[in-house]
Structure 1
C-alpha cells in the first residue's frame, strides 16, 4: 500500500469524521426521543400506573433497548470486521430510522390495550440492536481514517454526533411541546418527533453512501484475510481490553447520562419545572459544551488520553453535589447554570473516550471488541441510569441523591484509567499490542 500524504489523509479523515458524526447524530436523535418523551408516554402506554411508578415502567422500555445493544454489537461487529465499516453503518442507520418512524405510528394502550406497550418494547429493542452496531462502526471509521497525530481530534466526531443528535431530539420535542396544548401533546403531538426520523434517514443514507471505508481496514483486507471468528479472537487475546471498555463505558454513561438525559426527568418530574423549558434547557446544556469536545480531543493528542479523562472524572466528583443542590433552589436560571457546569466534564470525557476505546484493539477485531465492551457497559450504565436515579429519589425522598450515583460512576472510571497505559500518538495497531501481551 502506498502511504497517503498527510493532506490526503486529513481529507479522508474529515470525510470519515463528518459521515460518522452525521450518521451518529441521526441515530442518537432517534434513540433519545423516547427518553425525552418518557413523561408523556407513561400514561399513554402504562395508564394503570401513576406518578413515578408509571414513569419507572416507561423507563423500563428504555432499559430494554439498552439490553438489546450487546446483541447488535455482536451481530454488526462481526460483519464490520469481516465486510467493512461502511456497509454496517448503512444498515444500522436504516434499521434505526425505520423503527423510530414506526414508533410514531403506534396505537396507544387506549386503542389496542396491552399490545401497545408490547409493540413499543419490540420497536425499542430493534432500535437497541441498531444502536449496538453504530458506535463501534462510527468510532472505528473515524479513528482508522485519522493520522496518529490528530486521532483524538478526529475521533471526537462520534461524540459530536451524539451531542448534536441529543440536542436535536430535545429541540424537536421542545418545539412540539411549545406549540401544542397538553391535550394535543398527549393526543398526537408526541408522534411528530418520531416521524421526523423518516426524512432524517434519507439524509444519513446520502452522507454515508459518499464515504469510503477506512484506510486501515482496506489495507488489512489487501494484506490478510479478514478474521473468521472475531468474537472468539477478542476474548482469547483481548479480554482485559474488553473489561476496560466496559468499565469506562459504564462510568462515562452513568456520569454523562445523569448530567444530560436524566436531567430532563429530574427537572420536570422531580423538581416540577416546566417540561417545555426543561427540554430547551437540555438543548442548551448539550450544545453549549459542544466546542469542548473537539478541543479536549485535540488536547489529548498533546497531553494524553489518561490525563484528560482523569480530569473529567475528578471534576464530576467535586461538582455533582453542589450542582444538584443548586438545581433545587426553585430558580430555573440557577438550574440552567448548574446543568451547564455539570456538563463541562461530560463534554471533556466525550472528547477523549472513543479514541481510547479504539486504541485498545487492533484493526482486525476493533469493531467487534469495541462494540462488545461499549454495549455491555451501556446496559449497566445508560440503560439503567435514569431508572436508578429515579428510584433513588423515590426510595430515599432525597432529591440530590442522583449526585451520589454520579460520584460512584466517576470513581469507577478513575479506577479503570489507573490500570491503563497511555496510547495517544502511537500507530493504531501498535497501541493494542502491549495489552495483548498482558493478557496472554
Structure 2
C-alpha cells in the first residue's frame, strides 16, 4: 500500500507538471519570437505597431483564460481532476501546434492574423484550466509533510518550460539566418507541442483520481455548483489568492518573458545576447523554487513569501536602471537576482498556499478564479509596457509596473493565514499516506 501511494504521488506530480511545462514552453516561444512573429503576421512600415499587434494577440488570454478557468474549474470539481486535465491538454496542444501551421500574411493576407487570433483564443481558454488543476492534483496526492516541496514543482515546471523555450529560441537564433528564422524556423517550437502533448496525455490518462475527490464523490458531497458555492463561501480566499499571485505573475512575465524583447528593441542587444541573460535567470529560478518549497514545509509559507516580495521590491528598480549601457554579465547578474533568486523564493511556497486555503469540494474552482484574476494584469504586461515605453520614452516603466504589483501582494500577505501543517496551519487537504506508512485516506475537507 505504501509503495502504491508513493508511486501514485510521483505519477501525480509528473502528470500535474508536464502540462504546465508544455503550456509555458509554447508561451515562451511566442514571447521570445515576438519580433519575428510580428514581421510574419503583421508586416508594415512601423515595427512598433507590428510589435504591439503581436503582443496584443499574446494578451488575448486576458479575456479567454479567465473564462476557461471558470469552465474547467467546474468540470474539475464536478467530474474530477484527471478527466479535466486530460481535456485541457488536448486543447492546449492542438491549438499550439496549429499556430506553427498557419501560413504567413504574405501567403494568405489578413486571414493569417485572424487564424493566429483564433488559435490564441483556444490556447488561452485551455490554459485557464491547467494551473489550478495541476496544483490541486499534486496537493491531494502527496504527503502533507512534503506538500510544499512537491507542489512547488508546478511553478518550477513553469520555469523549466520557459527555460526550454528560451534555450530553444537561442539555438534557433544562432543556427539560422534571419531569413530562415522568419520563413520557417519560428514554427518549430509550436509544432513540438504536438508530440509533447501526446506524451503528457498518455501520462494523465494512466493516473488515478485523487482519493480526496473520490471520497467526496462516493459520499455524494460534490459541489453541485462549484462557482456559485465558491463565490458565496470562499470569496475572501479568492481575493487573497489573486492578491498574492499578482506580484509573482507580473514579475514573471516582465522579468523572465518580456525582458528579452526589451533588451532587443529598447537597448539594442542582439537576440542571442538577450536570451543568454534571461536563460541564466530562469535556470536559477527553476532551482530556487523547490528549495523554497522545501523550506516552507519546515518554517512555514509566509516567512518565504515576505522575504521574496521584499527582495523583488528592492531589486526591481536597480535592475532596469542599470541595464542601459551595462555589460551583458552585469545584466545577467541583475536578472538572476531579481528574476531568479527573489522571484523563486516567493514562488516556492506560493502555489501550495493557494491550494491549502480551500476545501476539496471547491479547491479547483477557488484557485482557478483567484489565479486567473491575477493573469489579467500579467499576460497583458508585454503589450502595456511596449505601449507605455513608446508613449513616455521611459525605460523604467517595467520597474514601476512590477513594483506596484508586488506592493499589492505584500500588503495582501498580512491578511493571509499561515497554511503549512507543520506550523499549525488549518489543513483543508486530506493528507496522503506518508512514505513509510500504509494508511487509508481520511475524509476530505468539505
**Cα separation, partners in 2 of 1:202 and 1:430, compared to 1, 3 Å:** closer
Q: Find the aligned partners of 1:175 and 1:336 in 2 and give their Cα distance.
A: 18
Quote the residue 1:429 is aligned against: 428
Equivalent in the alignment of 1:110: 106
Name the residue aligned to 1:437: none
Q: CA deviation digits over 1:345-386, x for unaligned, max 9?
A: 111122111111111211001111111111121012x22111
Q: State the alpha-carbon separation in 2 of the partners of residues 390 and 53 from structure 1.
A: 10
Of 281, 286, 291, 2:282 maps to 286
In the aligned structure 1, how far is the partner of 2:141 from the partner of 2:429? 16
2:21–2:157 contact (8 Å) kept in structure 1? yes
Residues 1:376 and 2:373 are matched in the alignment: yes
Distance 1:316 1:231 in 2: 33
Deviation digits for residues 30-60 of structure 1 (CA, Å, limit 9, x no counterpart): 2222111111111221113623232111100
Q: Pick one of 82, 87, 104 that aligns with 1:86.
A: 82
Shift of 1:428: 3.5
Contact 1:255 1:346 in 2 (8 A): yes
Q: Deviations over 1:233-276 (max 9, x none)?
A: 00010111111112222221112221101111111111111112
Q: Give distance in 1, aligned partners of 2:221 and 2:401.
A: 45
Deviates more, 1:108-117 or 1:413-422: 108-117
Residue number in structure 1 paired with 2:363: 366
Are the equivalent residues in 1 in contact too, given 2:253–2:379 (CA < 8 A)? Answer: no
SS in 1 for 2:39: helix
Report the TM-score when normalising by structure 2. 0.91
CA contact (8 A) 1:14 1:154 kept: no
Q: Distance in 2 between matches of 1:302 and 1:160?
A: 19
**For 2:128, what is the secondary structure of its paired residue?**
helix
Q: CA deviation at 1:289?
A: 2.8
Alignment partner of 2:271 out of 252, 269, 275: 275
Structure 1 stretch 220-229 or stretch 75-84: which is displaced more? 220-229
Question: Per-residue CA shift, 1:165-224, capped at 9, x if unaligned?
Answer: 111112222212211111111111111111111111122122222322222112222223
SS of structure 1 residue aligned to 2:136: helix
Distance in 2 between residues matched to 1:225 and 1:205, nearest whole Å: 28
CA distance in 2, matches of 1:269, 1:215: 50
Alignment check: 8 A CA contact 1:66 1:379 kept: yes
Which of these residues, 384, 393, 400, is aligned with residue 396 of structure 2? 400
1:377-435 per-position Cα deviation (integer Å, ceiling 9, x unaligned): 1012x22111222233222222233112221111000111111111111464279xxxx
State the 1:157 CA deviation: 1.6
How far apart in 1 are the matches of 2:60 and 2:397? Answer: 24
Residue 346 of structure 1: which of 343, 355, 362 is its match? 343
Secondary structure of the 1:68 match is helix
Q: 2:171 maps to what in 1?
A: 175
Runs of 4+ in 1 over 6 A off after TM superposition: none
Cα distance in 1 for partners of 2:381, 2:349 equals 21
Match of 1:125 in 2: 121
Aligned Cα root-mean-square deviation (Å): 1.7
1:39-118 maps to which residues of 2 (within 5 A)?
39-48=35-44, 50-118=46-114
Match in the other structure for 2:324: 328
Equivalence for 1:438:
none
Matched position secondary structure for 1:190: helix
Contact between 2:212 and 2:429, CA under 8 Å: does it hold in 1? no
1:259 touches 1:346 (CA, 8 Å); kept in 2? no
**Rounded Cα–Cα distance in structure 2 between residues aligned with 1:90 and 1:147:** 24
Q: Identify the residue that residue 433 of structure 2 maps to in structure 1.
A: none
Q: Does 1:356 align with 2:353?
A: yes
Alignment partner, residue 215 of structure 1: 211
| Structure 2: segments with no counterpart, 5+ residues | 431-446
Tell me the secondary structure at the aligned position of residue 269 of structure 2: coil
Aligned with 1:351: secondary structure?
helix
Aligned partners of 1:40 and 1:190 also within 8 Å: yes
Instruction: Describe how 1:132-281 pairs up with structure 2 within 5 A.
Output: 132-281=128-277
The one of 11, 30, 37 equivalent to 1:34 is 30
Normalised to the residue count of structure 1, the TM-score between the two structures is 0.93
Where 1:271 maps in the other structure, the secondary structure is coil
